[in-house]
Chains A and B, each alone.
Chain A
Amino acid sequence: MAATAPELKPIPSRRTIGKAQRWSWIFQRISGAVLIVLIFTHLFYNLMMGDGVSQIDFAFVAGKWSAPLWQWWAFALLVLGLVHGGNGMRMIVDDYAHGRVLPHILHWALRLSVLVLIVLGTLVIFTFDPCPTDVDPSILPGFCADL
């Protein structure tokens, strides 16, 4: 006797429909393609070149972020990474979180953490001082001694 498929009750999806969903997908693809270039450069520079992960300390970051190119690189990674990741998490929330309250709590938690981290990260990148004066000079990058 042939097995019959169990009756499946459709669960209403909380995903937005129409234009918002379409733009979400377009954004996800374009940002994903850009992130591939940004992240693999980031990983190659930090983990493959030089001494890899063991070279990373304050002097290493200060050396990179004294160049505007690396500041903007970090900024692009920050914004695109958070929005791409936050949007992906939103899709997962929409698929699995049901009820009247839970999806809203999770959506707001996502929006808030993405927004707070973009603001925090942007401030850190663009107010960064590679040669702070109140710090043990031995942990600063070499070029600080010439200032």
Chain B
Amino acid sequence: MPSLPTLYRGREGMWMWVVHRVTGVAIFFFLLIHILDTALVRISPEDYNDVIGSYHSPIYGIVEAGLVAAIIIHAFNGVRIILVDRWTWALRHQRLLSWIVWGIFVVLMAGFLPRHLGNVFGGA
């Protein structure tokens, strides 16, 4: 039985749109916090060290890994959006491009995660 038609077109394009929004909102709110905590360097270096010290904890280390993941996917999906808008070939192959974005994501995270998690869990 065919499913009822909906507003949603489904498949890669729609899911990348959802991913772009969700990661964008997450990065925006992190940016607000990041500016406020960094502002402490001007107000109190001691307090800055206390606050940034919590960034070195395992929980924050995992949150940071998620943040970097969100930035990577948002950045390269943004490139895909620009290409799809500007270039007919990319428009025809936007599904393939979605998977290329995830491929880049996997490669970059494979380079980043061991180094980052080593710094978080292995360091003093």
Contacts and interface: CB of A to CB of B under 8 A. Distances in A.
Nearest to B43: A124
B116 A128 contact: no
Interface string B1-21: 010110100000000000001
Given A58-B41, A62-B41, A47 B28 contact: no
Which residue, B7, B49, B124, has most C-beta atoms of chain A within 10 A? Answer: B49
Contacts of B32: 113, 117
Interface string A13-45: 000000000000000010011011001100100
Interface string A112-143: 01000100110110011100100110011000
Contact of B31 (A52, A65, A82, A136): A82
A127 B43 CA distance: 11
Majority secondary structure, A binding face: helix
Interface in B68-121: 68, 71, 75, 78-79, 81-82, 85, 112, 115-116, 118-120
Nearest to B60: A53
B45 to A, nearest CB: 4
Nearest to A89: B28
Given A3-B5, A8-B7, A47-B68, A123 B42 contact: yes
A35 B24 CA distance: 13
Given A5-B5, A48-B112, A53 B55 contact: yes
B65 to A, nearest CB: 10
Nearest to B42: A124
B35 interface: yes
A97 interface: no
Contact of A6 (B4, B31, B64, B85): B4
Q: Which 4 residue pairs of A and B lie closest in terms of their CB atoms, listed nearest first?
A: A52-B119, A85-B28, A58-B45, A54-B123
Interface of B: 2, 4-5, 7, 21, 24-25, 27-28, 31-32, 35-36, 38-39, 41-42, 45-46, 48-49, 52-53, 55-56, 61, 64, 68, 71, 75, 78-79, 81-82, 85, 112, 115-116, 118-120, 123-124
